[in-house]
Structures are given as C-alpha cells and as structure tokens.
Structure 1
Amino acid sequence: MRRPTAVDALVAVAVAVSTAYSDAGAGRSFGDREIAGLGWEPPLWFAVPLGLLVGAAALLRRRRPEPFVALALAAWVTLAAFTAVMVAQYAFAERTGSWRRTAIGTLAASAVVGVPIWRLGGPDAAAPLTAAICVAPALLGLYTGTRRELIARMRERAERLEREQHQNILRARGEERAQIARDMHDVVTHRVSLMVLHATALEASDGRDATTIGRSIGAIGREALGELRSLVEVLRADGDAPVAPQPGLADLADLVAESRRIGMRVTFEIANESGSRPPALIEHAVYRVVQEALANVHKHAGDAETSVRIRQTPDVLRLRVANGPARGPGPGLPGGGHGLLGIAERIRLVGGELTARPAPGGGFEVSAEVPL
C-alpha cells in the first residue's frame, strides 16, 4: 500500500508545481502570441491556488479522474499548462477502461486543447501537438488499464482454479478413505466373525473335534491375512495398483461353504439366463454384498435359515439374501453399523440399488438390482 501512495503524492506535487509555474512557460506562447485563452501573465494569487487544486485532483485521480480532467483543462485554458492535461488524459483512460468513454473524453479534450493552437499556428501545428497532449496519453492509459484488468482476471481465474483443485483433492481424499474403509470392513469383518464362531464352537465342544475346528480357524486366519496383505500392497504401491483378480460370482460357492461349515443352514442358487458374465466390478460388488449379508446373519441371527439367490438376465442382475427368524440368541459379535452403508455404496457405484429391510415373517432381507 505504501508504494502507490508515495507515487500518487509525487505525481500530485509534480503536477501542482508544473501547473502553478505554467510548465515553466514552455507551452504558454506560440511565436509572440499567448496560447492561454485569457492572453495574460497569470498572477501568483491565481496560479498557485489553481496549481494546488489540480495537484489535489491528481492525488485523487485513481478514485475520481473526471474532476482531474476538468481542472487540468481549466489550467490549460487559463495558464496553458499542458503537463496536467497529459496526466489527466492518461489517468482518465486508465481508470475508465472503456473505449467509448475514452474516445468521448479525448475528443472533448482535443477540442479544448487544439482550438487555440489551430487559431495561432494552423492545422500543421495543432494536429501533432494535440495528438501528443491528448491522444497519446489516452491510448497509453487505455492500454495500461486494459492490461491491468486482464491480469486481475487471470489472477482471479488462477485463484479460483486453485481453490477448485484443492476441493477436488479433498474430495478425492475423502473418496479414498471411504474406499479403504469399505475394503477393510469387507476383508476383516467376515473372516474375523468366522474365526470367533469357530472359537465359540471349539469352546463348546469340550475338546471334541478340536483339531478340525483349529484347522478351520487357521485357514480362515490365513485367508484374512492374505486379503489384508493384498490391500496393504495397493496402499503402498507407488505406481499403478496391482491387478490381482478380485473375488466374483465364481467364488460365492466357497463363501457359502464357509458358512455351512460353522453350522449355518444356507441355500445357494444362481441362474444365468444371458449366457455371459457380468463385468468384473459388478461381480466383485455382488460378492461383497453376499459376504456382508452372511456376516450379519452370523452376528445377529446365529443359526437362522438363510437363502442366497442370484438371477442374471441380459438386462439386469438381481440378488437376494434373506434369513428367517433366529432360533436362539446370536453370538453377540460387535457391529459398527457401517456394513450396510458400505455395500449400498458399492452397489450405487456400479449403477444399481440396494434395499435392506426386515422380512415380513421375521428375519432380515438384503436385495440388490444392478443394470447390465
């Protein structure tokens, strides 16, 4: 802020002094005749106050250039001071930034400045002097103002783009965190639930089938570690993410078999009327939905009878996982309440819709429909 203030003060002092001294007499006469309209030797009591007024107007030229132009033209008519006119023309064009207003102001100023010179020296003298005093400063001011406005717009656009880029980064980070949370939930919850259920069965068996149950717990634990290791590799990868195959419809039979091994009564049906496989992303999303639905049955319904049905047509893939009422209390596994939200988001990302609601006769039902 200090630099423009100092420049304005310096310009105001210079304009005031040059006006009061009539530009040291450099432009007051043309030959032996005075250019000033009054044709006089201006007294100090007139020249000094007018110079101070013009200087004050020059100090405020950035906010109010019109009074500066008027006083500068008055100084030209009475004192033949041309420096104030040149500065006023530049300031008016720079601050206005309008070709039309600048042209009108320049024509008016050219008439005031050029007529006395034309009257005394003819058009050969009036044309170059008027162009130098009025037209050239106006064109320079218009160029400077337009350039300043263009730079300001470019800076504003760059700042807006930077803000948008920052928002996009924050949005991308949020989406990444949500994706990581979904993957961690899908990988950990189902496997750990199976391990807890096997451990509960081992505790209730009083040593019977301990080896078999322990082997199942170890297998489930190794599968969970393998999936977690794959997820960590994705997070640590500097370049492209590894493209290891993700579980799909072909892996659902093994997923259902795991639930059956811990005593769940699960029926599984899959029908493909289209004769082709759905996209891999849809297969993976459906797999995660079934995995989460079975995990919820493990947690809350225990040994309730459950059915998993998938039907694929050429246009749509439909999924339904439903369980009946529990025969007894579930194992009481903790739940964070985010599982259904996560699978609903997965289905939305592939263009489908998921519905989770209590079944009419008791139990719970999760259904999804994904357009192909």
Structure 2
Amino acid sequence: MVNRHPIATALRALRQTLWGPDGPPGRPLLARWPRLARPAAPVGLLAVLGVFWITLTVESDWGLPPPIAVLFAAMTVAPLLALPRRPLLAWRLTVLALLICTFNAPAGLPGPWTPPLALGSVAVVAVVLARVDRPVLAWVVAITTVPVLTLVHAENRAAVLALLGALAIVGDLIRRNRLSRRALAAQTELSEREQERRAVLEERTRIARELHDVVAHHMSLIAVQAETAPYRLTDVPAPAAAEFAAIAGSARDALTDMRRLLGVLRSEATGPPTAPQPDLGDLGAMVDTARRAGLPVTLDVDPPVDGRVPAPVGLAAYRIVQEGLANAARHAAGAAVRVTVRAHRSGLGVRVENSPADARPTADGGPGHGLTGMRERATSLGGTFTAGPLPDGGYAVAAELPYQAESGDA
C-alpha cells in the first residue's frame, strides 16, 4: 500500500512554491542596527535604479531595441523590489526573467544573462532558500535548475549547479539556526514568566505566614482575656460568663484552624519563627545596621500621635523599607538614601528614595523580584504601591498602607 502522506506534503509544497502566499515575514535585516534602518530605504532605491541603468546600458550595447532593453531591465530589478517583503514572489519573477532575458548575449559569458541579472538571481535565490522550509526549498532548487540546465553553457553548468547546492545547504542551516534561536527566546520568556509567577506565589505565602503570626497573637490575647474576665470582674451574671466562655472557645477554635493553615503555608524547610515579627519601632535598628554596612541612610519617621499602628501595617512598612534599602544597595551603590514614614488619619505613607548612583550596579546573579514583593504587601492591605525613576536620575518606591482595608477588599 502506497504511503500518500509524503506525496501530499510534496504537492502542498509545490502549490506553495508556484502560486502560494509567502510565509510570515522574517525579522528585518537591519533590526539589530536601527540607526541604519532609516537610510536603508533610499539607499536601496538608489541601488535598484543603478542596477536598472546598468542593465539598460548592457542590453543596449548588445544591440537590443530600446523597448526590449527597457523590458529586460525592468524584469531584472522587479525581483529586487519584491525581495524584502515577498521573497517567493521575487524568486518567481527571477525564474521568469532567467527564461525570457536570453537574447544576443556575447560569447564568453557563462550564461545568456547580463551580469546584473545573474548576480541578482543569486542574491534572490540565497534569500529565498534561507526563508522557506525544506519541502518548498526542494522545489525551489529543482525548478531553478531548469534554466541552468537548458541555458547555461555546458562547461559552466557543473559550477552553477554546485553554487546552487551550496546556497541550498547554507540557506537550510540559516533557517534552522533562526528557528532554534526563536524557540530559545520563546522558552526563555516562558521561563522568566514562570519564575516571576513563582516569586509572586512565594512572596504571598511568606506574607500569609507573617500575617498568621500577627493575627494568632491577637487571637491568643482575645482567648486569654475572655477566659480571665469572669475572675477579674465581680458579680458577673451567668449569661455573661457563658458569653465569655463562648468567646474564648471560638478564639481557641480559630487558633486551631490557623495552625492547620500555617502547616499548609510553611514548607518543610521553613521552621517556626524564633523572634517576634518586626514593626515600625524596629526601623531605627535596621537603618543603623545599613549605615554600619556603608549605606548613607537618612530616616524620617512621623508616627501617629497615639503611637498605635496595626501590626500588619507596621510589619508591611518594615518589610517595604527593608527591601527598598536592599535594592538601593544593590542597584545604586554609593547613592544617598532617604526613608520617609508619615502617619495620617487613615493610614501610613512609606517612601524610600535614592540619589543617582555613583557606581555601576553590583551583580547579584540575575533579576530580583523585590518590587513584586513590596507591591504584594501593599495590595494585601488594600493599599497602593508605586515605583519609578526620579527626574534627577535617582529612584523611589512609595506605598500607602491603610489602617483598615476597604469594605470591598478580601
């Protein structure tokens, strides 16, 4: 039984070669040099006009009538005009020109074509063979050999066929290399997105663990106070004592559920914390540590009048300042850093900014996700976060942390 799949593939490739549309456009030749791309169009147009004039002159010297010479010159430059965007169309025009422009060539030339047509045909075939896939490449080579075998002189035929074979091999290698680089770039982009997604999930898990510790502390206080309230008060009615006991029981149940949740969030490599979570009052110690490490930091803190900051807000402010100082030390070595914390009626404003760097950024093994973590901390409290360069060349991150999330927030 005949396997029709290769035959069907070959027929589809033949249709694509003879009258099918060109494939998706490849990367422009001058994409790596954008400064050269702008003058490329007028320079290319002048080159095509030059080829047209040279061909017209050669055809006239060969004794062709002016209308035929103009026609042959136009058929010589037409493939060059179509080549940048329609390589297959340019190749079809080239084959047509090779079959038609064959009159009155003087003896001594390897073929019946003018030098501009011969060189232009080589350029067109080379570009096409580097753009098409293998089935179409095979048909392009096979069809191009028709004018070579029928019109090229016998003593030069082997050399021209060898040149065509070399162009086919090199073109296929170029196409495969381009496809490999494109696949590698796509895989690299996918890996970067996956790393970013993983970093976001890890940071959210870390924030959830820290918030668990803060909330668990408050739930423990609620349970203890509810249990001891009947003993600290006199003449507590029985219904009120039962209500206190119910509050204490609910708090204990909530603590049990939160411990189960923490078991899911905390990985095997992450043990329980051995120190209380930091808050706004620990900023001074952290800044002193940064100064001893050589980072010029100025701290300006304006806490609330009553000194009360919700524990999650204080923890988020501490972590944002900590990451901001780390980013400044990593990416703006030698720059002066200013940390500003301002309390207002409904929340806390945190800002970390640095002056322009005096030295090149230090290598840290790859891009980090510090901004992602800071944004996650701010948005988890219903706040906002912004980051970006300053007009003087420095950089600033700022967060607004509300004391109480909006009612629509989860």
Shorter chain as denominator, the TM-score bin is: 0.3 to 0.5
Using the size of structure 1 for normalisation, the TM-score is 0.37
* Structure number with larger C-alpha Rg: 1
Using the size of structure 2 for normalisation, the TM-score is 0.33
